[in-house]
Amino acid sequence: MITRIAKPKKPVLYAAILAGGRGERFWPVGRASRPKQFVDLFGGKPLIALAVERLRGLVPPGRVLVVTSRDLVPATRAALPALSPEQILGEPQGRDTAAACALATAWVGKRAGEDAVVCILTADHLMADSAAFRRTLAAASEIAARRPVMGLIGIRPTHPATGYGYVELGPPVAGPGLPKGFRRVRRFVEKPNLGTAATYVRSGRFVWNSGMFVWRVSTFRAALAAYRPALLAAMDRVAPRFGTPAQGAALAREYEKLDKISVDYAVMEKAPNLVAVRGDFGWDDVGTWASAGAHLPADAEGNGVHGLVRTLASHGNAVVNAEKGHLVAVFGADELVVVHTRDATLVCPKSSADGLKDLVRAIGGDPATAAFVR
């Protein structure tokens, strides 16, 4: 008699997309009421819609959850009409990613039980190779389902960036039937200087921290119990009210008492059961207008352009014109960001794009222009 070994069941997989951006780095197209995840310059669809689409074939729409701020719930519903209202959770206050991750995990646990796997994803990043991204996510979900570990999807560094956190990888995670490529996490390093970042890249032991995680509900609950028991208790009080008229009041009551802290600081950097895999799928967080230019159609002079734009003797610019019937012309200028909307125009060197938040905050304090960013 031949005894057949049953294959492990595929995990019940949910995706939780964190969408709490405020629009400062993509002003004036991005505003407080229309932050980066709603920018539709890349492929003609909002970034948050692309984030849901790239899950197709791995996570069905009915298992996608979006965690955003309460005031952005209507815009999120408009951008994602295929999702039901209960799949979009509005946080009453911004409490950083620890609270958002705990809220999403509690929602999945209430709906699918503690063996369900949760993928924590981003709403405003681009992936050049969606199929490779899904393969990486599937592998991470498999190891999270089969082992009591939390998975991090790291990005293979392409240059010594100083604006990203780094994660040092340790020994491989091996075992019968486990997906390959996973390694133990040794430590997190927050935004190193240029020399240190260059050393990390040369070593081959480090990845960029993408902010994308995968864990089983029960595994993350155990981590919260160890490192953030008050947060776990708060979510346990909210969970019975998901999908009821009392949900909003319960969230407001509990969020008022929560600390503002990232999931990295609150849990990940402390947890001994964190594993990581290198992601090679053309990831870009599109963090500034300077980096966005590389994803816009290029004109004959190598400028990234959108809308009615003409350039002459100009190179390496990112030029966005969001106003129909209006021409934006750039002549004899290199390496600029030029963004024109109906009520505001931005011009700055690409090298200054990282500091756009300072400009937006300064403008927000001026009563004559406060309407642009409020």
Q: What is the pTM of this model?
A: 0.90
Distance CA 86, CA 318 (A): 38
User: pLDDT over 90 for what percent of the chain?
Assistant: 79
Distance CA 372, CA 179 (A): 49
Distance CA 190, CA 192 (A): 6
pLDDT score of 23: 67
Which residue type sits at 362? Answer: A
Q: Where do the structural domains in the chain lie, given as residue ranges?
A: 13-284, 289-372
pLDDT score of 371: 47
Question: Does the structure show a pLDDT above 90 at 252?
Answer: yes
Please give the CATH number for the structural domain made up of 13-284: 3.90.550.10
279 in Cβ contact with 167 (< 8 Å):
no
pLDDT score of 8: 54
Q: What is the pLDDT of residues 192-230, one digit of tens each?
A: 999 999 999 999 999 999 999 999 999 999 999 999 999
Q: Kindly state the average pLDDT of the residues 343-355.
A: 92
pLDDT score of 43: 80
Lowest mean pLDDT among 62-66, 286-290, 299-303, 310-314: 286-290
| Non-local CB neighbours of 348 within 8 Å, separated by 6+ positions | 336, 337, 356, 359
264 in Cβ contact with 188 (< 8 Å):
yes
Question: Does the structure show a pLDDT above 60 at 328?
Answer: yes
Reported as a pLDDT band with limits 50, 70 and 90, residue 361 is confident
pLDDT score of 4: 45
Question: How far is it between the farthest Cα atoms of the chain?
Answer: 84
pLDDT score of 230: 98
Question: Does the structure show a pLDDT above 50 at 366?
Answer: no
Reported as a pLDDT band with limits 50, 70 and 90, residue 7 is low
Helix (H, G, I), strand (E, B) or coil at 314: coil
Output the average pLDDT for the chain. Answer: 92
Q: What is the pLDDT of residues 83-126, one digit of tens each?
A: 999 999 999 999 999 999 999 999 999 999 999 999 999 999 99
7 or 20, which is more confident?
20
